[in-house]
Every structure is written in C-alpha cells, then in structure tokens.
Amino acid sequence: MSYDEMLTAAKKAVSLAARLSNEVRKSLLVTDVWNKSDDSPVTVADYGSQAVVSLVLERELKNEPVSLVAEEDSGELRKIAAENVLARITELVKDTLASDESYAASPLSSDDVLNAIDRGKSEGGPKGRHWILDPIGGTRGFIRGEQYAIGLALLVEGKVVLGVMACPKLPLASTAGNTLKSSPEKVGCLFYGSVGTGTYVQSLSVDSLPVKVEVSSVDDPAKASFFESYHTPVPIHNTIAKKLGIKDSPIKINSQTKYAALSRGDGEVYLRFTRKPRPESIWNHAAGSIIVSEAGGKVTDAAGDPLDFSKGKYLDYKRGIVVTTQKLLPRLLKAVRESIKEEEEEEEKAASVKLH
C-alpha cells in the first residue's frame, strides 16, 4: 500500500478513536477511571481508543500485517477483574465502529476487544513497518476535561514517515497569545502529515477542507512563547528561557497537543527536560515529531540530534527534548548547552561541599 492509503487508514482510525473518547468524556463515570500498577491513571477511553485503532488498521490495511507499538495492554485491565468495565469498553468500541457505515454489521466480542488491545505489544525496532500509538495522551488532562490527544505514527525502517493526531479539545482557530482555553464551539482538530508533503489540519467533527499549517515566523527569541507539560517545575526550563530573554510564563498543556499547537504557530518552543533521567516512550513523541517537522519545525534532543525511534519502545536521546522552529533552533540549542553546563557545575559544587 502507498503512504497515501496508509494515511487515509490512519486518519479514519484516529478520528473514530476521538469519537469514542468524546463519548466517554461526556459522562465520565467514577468506575471509568483507575490507577495502574505504576500509579498512573487510565480510563476506559484509553483501552477503547487502542482497540478501535487496532481494529480499524487491521480492517483498512487488509493484507498488510499490522505491527502496533502502543501504551496499553490487557494485563492491567485483567488485573481489576471487573466484568462490567470490560463490558463497557466492548460496548463503546462496538458503538463507535457501528457509527461508521462500513463497519455497521461487524460482530464484536469482549475477547475480540482484548485481542485488539494486545495487538499493541509489538516492540518496534529498526526493521520493517510499525505503527506507534498513544491512545489517550494526557490522561490526566482528559479526566479533568482539558487538553488531550490521540497520536498515531508509522515507523518504516526506523524512521517516522507519517503521523496523525486528534486534539479533541483544541480550538480550530489558532490560539497564539492565549492559554489554549477551549470555547464550546469550533473545537476539535485533526492534524496529519507525511514525509515531504507538509502538515495539514481539519475539523474533527464536521467535513471540512484541510488547511496547510506552518510553524511561527517569529525570529526574536525574546518574543517566543514556550510550552511545557503540567508537572513539578523543572528549573532548567526557566534557565533556558531566561537566556533567550523569554519573559512570559510557559503555556502548560497536557499531551502531544503541544506539538500540534506549535506546528501551526501557537507558540515557538516546547521543552521537555526532567529533574531525573527517565525513559521516554516513543508513542509520546512519534506523531508529534513528524507533524512539527513537516510544518517546517525541528525536533531534536539536547545535543541537537534528531530523535531516534528505532531502538524499541523507548527513545534513544540525550538529556532532553527540544521542539522549535528552524530560525530559533541554533540560539535555543546554545542556551540549552550553557544551561546544562551550569547545572552540572552546580551539582559538582554541591557534591564537593557534601564531601567536606
């Protein structure tokens, strides 16, 4: 199949998963949310979204083998051993697929749903084709009724070649200069891009022509705005921002929505550093990385190297993730290098004091 055909299948899969998540969000039940064994939250929408994408890819790609690297597996679902939860997920998946005419008559059991979820157990890697799925990115945001995203990308021989991202709470109009608060009308975006073709956005809820998007043209770092995740403040983010002359507070958004917003110029910088080294799952960045790069942006690690998605479920990267425009990248990387060096010197001083 051509990339165009695969992109069409991916758009259908993600759009239907977004439809399911919207239905859950309308009447989120207490029993729809629980914590996994690592204490991170998960919902029926996470599992339902993964099942829908898995089933749609399988049906749309027909004779193509589907290798899926995804966040969830049925193990956590089986642990809670709640038949009513599995029944609710199965019903959600059935109703969502039935809302598309081509799937209206398809029977579906709970076992089918569990198997579809577990198709996401692929390890990925540098060879062959692998789909990479974040079924609900920003689960905490989803639970609170804030920004979240569904991201799907295709990895071919270790390189991301296409990506689709649904941002059901992101306004269709550019939100540059405000805090991405969703107004009730004209909300819900579908972003997509593939190698060499650019990035486009269209409405998730109504038929509309896609619009090509490009990153911001701002070339003065002091006038840039930057995105970061909701988390305990990371001091190095502030250090980098100060070196660039950025005075505004960061715009905090859950999920890969930050990539989508940056791709259309809602902001210029997205930094993802952590206080302690931690693995980064490829599904948190795959779709976003190509959507930004095809819109004219750059996605690198702290050393300025492209993110490496070919090493399995986790990124191979140095220290932090930097997302910005081509114009701002050189100055941003310089600020990153200087900030890392200062931080290391401070740590050495602190260690030396402890020794004495």
Q: Active-site residues: which are they?
A: 46, 139
Residue 144: C-alpha distances to residues 44, 169, 192, 311 (Å): 15, 12, 26, 33
Q: Half-sphere exposure of 66 toward its Cβ, with a 13 Å CA cutoff?
A: 27
| DSSP-assigned letters across all residues of 117-164 | HHTTB----SSSEEEEEEEEE-HHHHHHTS--EEEEEEEETTEEEEEE
CB 167 within 8 A of CB 288: no
Distance CA 227, CA 78 (A): 36
- Write the DSSP symbol of residue 200: E
Q: Where are the alpha helices (DSSP H) in 63-109?
A: 74-80, 83-98
CB 180 within 8 A of CB 261: yes
Q: Half-sphere exposure of 83 toward its Cβ, with a 13 Å CA cutoff?
A: 0
CB 256 within 8 A of CB 287: yes
Distance CA 126, CA 261 (A): 29
Task: List Cβ neighbours of 300 (8 Å cut-off, separation of 6 or more).
Answer: 306, 307, 321, 322, 329, 333
